[in-house]
Structure 1
Amino acid sequence: MRDILVTLIVFGFLPLIFTRPYIGALMWVWISVMNPHTQGWGFATSFPFAAIIAAVTLITLLFTKEPKNLPRTSITWVFIAFVLWMNVTSIFAIYPDEIYTQWNKVMKIMLMTFVIFMLIKTKKHIELLIWIIVISLGYYGVKGGVFTLKGGGVDMVWGPQSTFIGGNNEIALALIMTIPLMHYLQITVQKPWARHAFTVAMLLCAVAALGSYSRGALLAIVAMGIFLWLKSRQKLGLALLGAMAIPPLLAFMPEQWSQRMDSINTYEEDGSVQGRFNAWWMAYNLAKARPLTGGGFEIITPEMFYAYAPNPEDVHAAHSIYFQALGEHGFVGLGLYLLLAWLTWRTGSWIIRNTRKLEEYRWASNLATMIQVSLIGFATGGAFLSLLYFDVPYYLMGAMVAMRVLVEKELKQKASAAVTAKAPGSPPQFGQLNPSQSQPVAGDSG
């Protein structure tokens, strides 16, 4: 039944892409983030929905008469450079015969991110993108939260298999990133029941993140919570809410959960943590040996650890977006990635600064703030996970670019109109009297 439902939804929306190409971008986000076909048990689990959506969207993009230029922003240029550099490092990869599958996967994500840059332009498009991300990840958050509550937190929460968020740590970080986006949607809906529903969904996402037993997720929650409190206009209310909600949640979790979280303080004795340090040293030493290009994709091999790791027998994935970028794409790749993150942050700050006092753009200020909060969670939790190519942060970057372009364009138009209205000799605005016209005199019956 689930297979049929996903198939009907995809093929039902495909014809709409030809007249509204942005729908294709949104459908891609839904399929790539939620992976709804993985929730079935039949033919849909291996059906190429994403490829079909991408093909129809790209064909429509080629022939549509709508403007389809990439926005000319600093983020766009650095993102282009980052993608090109990943291709350069692939040419000089240590294992050129082994990288195609990963290269192909990453390039598809990057290509469709460019499509989002070109097609997501209006406030409606941006908010629909946020809705799709929230629905896609919120489904697993609500499901995982209920699972944790029913089982008393004894069993671990996992994500959909064979996806970016399949592991317990990965799904936890994705859910943490979703909570601020949910809060943005909560303050935009009008119905009280919808706001209450978002409150429940956010709490369940938090419970599911705790139920993942992810220590990195706990650190990400703390970092995100501190930043959200600093950004909030209602610091006292937010502090009281945290004081009322957090202790019961922590008290609900079983003893084994507490023991795992306590191991953060004794990381020197934790084999998993030491394995990550070993992988970080391997990536750093490899980058020192190949500072420009790194090792390319697929460098987690016994041979690489034997050559560059302190402990050659402890082979681990990078377990860090930063060391993953460093090991695979060298210091240049890491620099471009960090520059991309910094420019995205600055773009959000520009939006907040220029719209804070404008009521009609309060939505942009609120959304930019919540995306920043979400990215703080990713930057913190991502320090312990191999999620360099996780697509959601790139889609949020696209939303930030679209907001910046839209807000800047409209503010310039308003400023230009205001200057024109005040200029000598300008045509009268509606409801104003042309100075060249005679003033009415007393007793004039017209």
Structure 2
Amino acid sequence: MRDIFVTFIVFASLPLIIKHPVNGVLMWIWISVMNPHTQSWGFATTFPFAQIIAVITLFSLATSRTPKTLPASGITFALLAMVLWMNITTLFAIFPAASQVQLAKVMKIMLMSLVTMVVIRRREDVHRMIWVLVISLGYYGVKGGIFTVREGGNFRVWGPIGTFIGGNNEIALALIIAIPLMRYLQLSSDNRWVKHGLTATMLLSAMAALGTYSRGALLAIGAMIVLMWLKSQQKLLGAFVILMFAPLAMLYMPERWTERMDSIADYEADTSAMGRINAWHMAYNLAKDRFFGGGFEIAEPSVFYLYAPNPAAVHAAHSIYFQALGEHGFIGLGLYLLLGVLTWRSASWIVRSSRDDPELQWASNLAKMIQSSLIGFAVGGAFLSLLYFDVPYYLMAAVVALRALTEQRLAARKAEVAR
């Protein structure tokens, strides 16, 4: 039944995608982030829904009258530069065949991220995209939160198998990214039932993140909450909610959860933590030795034998920063950091520029919440190999659209004053 349901939704959306490519981008985000087909048990689990949606979306974009140029933004130029550099580093990859396979997967993500920047231009489109992201990740937040509460936190929460967010650490970070977006939607709604529903979803998503037993997620959720509070206009109420909920949530978790979180301070006795540090040393040594890095898929014994302090401890990078460094060298890491800095600065500009305009309050709220999501990703991503996780790139696209809309509004106001 679930297979038929997902298949019906996808194929029913195709005429809407042909009519307007923005519908294709929204469907792509739903399929690629939520992966609803993984919640079924039959033919849908392996059916190429994403490929079909991507092809129809590109066809719609090519035949529609909508603008087909990328917005002139530092974010888009930095992303294009990073995409070009990934293709160059692949030419010099240590494992060419495996690197080519991974490059093809990454380029699909980057292509659709760029398409998102092209078609998401109106306020309504940005708002709909945030709703799709919240529904896609909120589903696992509600499901995982109920599971955590029901089981007393004695079992770990996991994400959908075979996806970016399949692991416990990965789903935790995805939920941390989603919580500020839920808060934006709550601020944007006048319906009290929607507001109450989003409050419940945020609380359950937070419980689900704790229920993953992810130590990196604990640090990330702390950073995200602090920034959300700093960006809030109701700091006293926000502080009260945090001080009420956070201790209760942690007290609810069992003793073995507390013991695992306490091990953060004693990382030298943790084999998992030391394995990550060993992989970080390997990435740094490799980047020093090879200007173009090692290319994709370098977590192999032969590479660790050459560059790691402990050649026997072979691990994935477990860090977006060291993943970029090891696979694409110092230039690759620099481009990735530049992309993050430009996104942050653009969001800050939106907040400053919309401060005195009630019609831009929504843009200010969303820019603040995207910053909260990205700070959570920046902290949690320091411990996960999620360099190519697509959600942050969609948020970058949202910032590009927000800046363009803010500039249009400011230009219109200036024209009105000049009359």
**Where does structure 1 differ by over 3 angstroms across 4 or more consecutive aligned residues?**
none
- Give the Å deviation of 1:418: 2.1
Separation (CA, whole Å) in 2 of partners of 1:93 and 1:405? 38
- Offset from partner CA, 1:237-272 (integer Å, 9 cap, x none): 111111111111111100110000000111111111
Q: Does 1:308 align with 2:303?
A: no
Give the TM-score of the pair, scaled to structure 1: 0.93
**Structure 2 counterparts to residues 415-434 of structure 1, below 5 A:** 415-419=414-418, 421=419
Higher alpha-carbon deviation: 72-81 or 166-175: 72-81
1:25 aligned residue: 25
1:285 aligned residue: 285
**Structure 2 counterparts to residues 98-117 of structure 1, below 5 A:** 98-117=98-117
**Structure 2 counterparts to residues 386-397 of structure 1, below 5 A:** 386-397=385-396
2:379 aligned residue: 380
Separation (CA, whole Å) in 2 of partners of 1:74 and 1:191? 37
| 1:379 aligned partner, one-letter code | A
2:410 aligned residue: 411
- Give the Å deviation of 1:414: 2.3
1:444 aligned residue: none
Stretches of structure 2 that go unaligned for 5 or more consecutive residues are: none
Separation (CA, whole Å) in 1 of partners of 2:26 and 2:192? 27
- Offset from partner CA, 1:14-64 (integer Å, 9 cap, x none): 101121110001100000000000000000000000000000010111111
- Offset from partner CA, 1:297-329 (integer Å, 9 cap, x none): 010000000000000000010000000000000
1:169 aligned residue: 169
Separation (CA, whole Å) in 2 of partners of 1:67 and 1:177? 30
**8 Å contact 2:20–2:61 — kept in the other structure?**
no
1:61 aligned residue: 61
Separation (CA, whole Å) in 2 of partners of 1:410 and 1:243? 38
- Give the Å deviation of 1:416: 2.0
The DSSP-based 3-state class of the residue aligned with 1:114 is: helix
Stretches of structure 1 that go unaligned for 5 or more consecutive residues are: 422-446
The DSSP-based 3-state class of the residue aligned with 1:97 is: helix
1:2 aligned residue: 2
- Offset from partner CA, 1:209-240 (integer Å, 9 cap, x none): 00000000000011111212222221111111
| 2:116 aligned partner, one-letter code | I
2:154 aligned residue: 154
The DSSP-based 3-state class of the residue aligned with 2:72 is: coil
| 1:330 aligned partner, one-letter code | G
Separation (CA, whole Å) in 2 of partners of 1:414 and 1:173? 40
- Offset from partner CA, 1:95-154 (integer Å, 9 cap, x none): 102222211110000000010011000000000010000000000000000011111111
2:342 aligned residue: 343
1:50 aligned residue: 50
The DSSP-based 3-state class of the residue aligned with 2:190 is: coil
Separation (CA, whole Å) in 2 of partners of 1:66 and 1:129? 18
The DSSP-based 3-state class of the residue aligned with 1:259 is: helix
Q: Does 1:328 align with 2:327?
A: yes
| 1:410 aligned partner, one-letter code | R
Give the TM-score of the pair, scaled to structure 2: 0.99
Which of structures 1 and 2 has the bigger CA Rg?
Answer: 1
Higher alpha-carbon deviation: 378-387 or 190-199: 190-199
Separation (CA, whole Å) in 1 of partners of 2:302 and 2:202? 44
The structure with more helix, counted as a fraction of residues: 2
Q: Does 1:94 align with 2:94?
A: yes
- The alignment of Structure 1 onto Structure 2 pairs a total of residues equal to 419
| 1:288 aligned partner, one-letter code | K
